[in-house]
Amino acid sequence: MDVVIVIAVLVFSAILHEVMHGFVADKLGDPTARLMGRLTLNPIPHIDPLSSILIPFLLVVSGSPIIFGAAKPVPVNPIYFKEGRKDMALVALAGPLTNIVIAVTASVLLKVAPTDSLSLISMILYTIVFYNLILAFINLIPIPPLDGSKVVGSLLPDELASTYFSIEPYGIFIIFFLLVSPLGGFSLGGLINKLLILSLKLLGL
């Protein structure tokens, strides 16, 4: 039951994350996601069997301290944007900011939920808070192709930005390595856990 709840929360939170990417892109002039039917809460167009189901399931059952998943990325075509990389950064920020809003909203609802911390409603709301914070923090990591890299790239000169984004094919491997292998005393997983603890305290949980 716990595994089902976690995966359901991850999948629908990731879908909302992607829908908001497409929504903001549409508002900035790029209709691609809308025309491809991706501005919908229907999970079918968004589900990726690997990143939406298999990866979070394996992370949950393996007892990994950091569990995340992703929906199929919405298509974005920056040729429609008036301000190129700046608009791309706004589109990128829309995803993790959506997860933060979801987490804050769920934390408020949790405070008015049944007082029994073991109740199903409380457990679901806490799961929503916890995993939306994880999705936000991971996506804000400034390593291509994550959303944080689009923000950093928008601040760099064109040539340096091109070099920076050239590591995108290797980005996912870099992220996994940093999550599981401390480097010189630095642990990305440890940093995310500290941010989670701090955020949960700020939310009064």
C-beta of residue 33 within 8 angstroms of C-beta of residue 74: yes
Residue 32 Cα distances to 167, 185, 195, angstroms? 25, 43, 34
Q: Which residue blocks in 44-139 are alpha helix, DSSP H?
A: 55-61, 84-112, 120-139
The reply to whether 168 belongs to the active site is no
CA 78 to chain centre: 21
Amino acid identity, position 70: A
In whole angstroms, give the CA distance from residue 42 to residue 23. 15
Predicted confidence at residue 97, as pLDDT, reads 97
The model's pLDDT over 42-60, given as tens digits with 9 standing for 90+, comes to 888 888 887 777 777 776 6
Q: What are phi and psi of 46, to 5 degrees?
A: -100, -20
The model's pLDDT over 93-150, given as tens digits with 9 standing for 90+, comes to 999 999 999 999 999 998 887 666 668 888 899 999 999 999 999 999 999 989 999 9
Predicted confidence at residue 147, as pLDDT, reads 94
pLDDT band at 24 (very low <50, low <70, confident <90, very high): very high
Catalytic residue among 18, 83, 159, 168: 18
Contacts of residue 34, Cβ cutoff 8 Å, sequence gap at least 6:
22, 26
Amino acid identity, position 167: I
Average pLDDT score, the chain: 87
Q: Burial of 26 by CB count in 10 Å (0-12 exposed, 13-18 middle, 19+ buried)?
A: buried
